[in-house]
Amino acid sequence: DVKVTQSSRYLVKRTGEKVFLECVQDMDHENMFWYRQDPGLGLRLIYFSYDVKMKEKGDIPEGYSVSREKKERFSLILESASTNQTSMYLCASSLVGMYSNQPQHFGDGTRLSIL
């Protein structure tokens, strides 16, 4: 079974802090993703990566950056946290498929509160 592990389930930080969210997958997947989930808005893609040191902006990248130094690890960075970044953050990974019929596998999420 694919295991996607997010380093923290709950995190509380202060406005202006630099925040790191870590994600590790154990199935040698090429693709990794960061989403945020907010009530009434569903899952929105922040950034994704299809290879080590490669990254692509998703739909809402503003205020975030990412790092992928190793294939199994994908980090989301909030450069200067703001209250509107309070949310549930979800990491996912998937294999590369011609038509991407390879489903994404998700971690259990990090609930981040910015005070």
Partner 1 sequence: DQQVKQNSPSLSVQEGRISILNCDYTNSMFDYFLWYKKYPAEGPTFLISISSIKDKNEDGRFTVFLNKSAKHLSLHIVPSQPGDSAVYFCAAHTGTASKLTFGTGTRLQVTL
Site for partner 1 in 2-31 (CB under 8 A): 4, 9, 31
CB neighbour class for 49 (10 Å; exposed up to 12, middle 13-18, buried from 19): buried
Distances in Å between the alpha carbon of 26 and those of 36, 39, 71, 100? Answer: 22, 30, 10, 19
Is residue 56 at the binding interface for partner 1, with CB under 8 A as the rule?
A: yes
Is residue 92 at the binding interface for partner 1, with CB under 8 A as the rule?
A: yes
Is residue 42 at the binding interface for partner 1, with CB under 8 A as the rule?
A: yes
Cβ closer to partner 1: 4 or 19?
A: 4
Q: Which stretch binds partner 1 (CB under 8 A): 12-20, 43-51, 69-77, 79-87?
A: 43-51
Is residue 69 at the binding interface for partner 1, with CB under 8 A as the rule?
A: no
b/e 102-114 (16+ beta carbons within 10 angstroms → b):
eebbbbebbebeb
Is residue 1 at the binding interface for partner 1, with CB under 8 A as the rule?
A: no
β pairing state of 64-70 and 87-94: unpaired
Question: Hunting for tokens 């790092």 — which residue is that?
Answer: 67
Q: Which stretch binds partner 1 (CB under 8 A): 48-56, 61-69, 70-78, 79-87?
A: 48-56
Is residue 104 at the binding interface for partner 1, with CB under 8 A as the rule?
A: yes
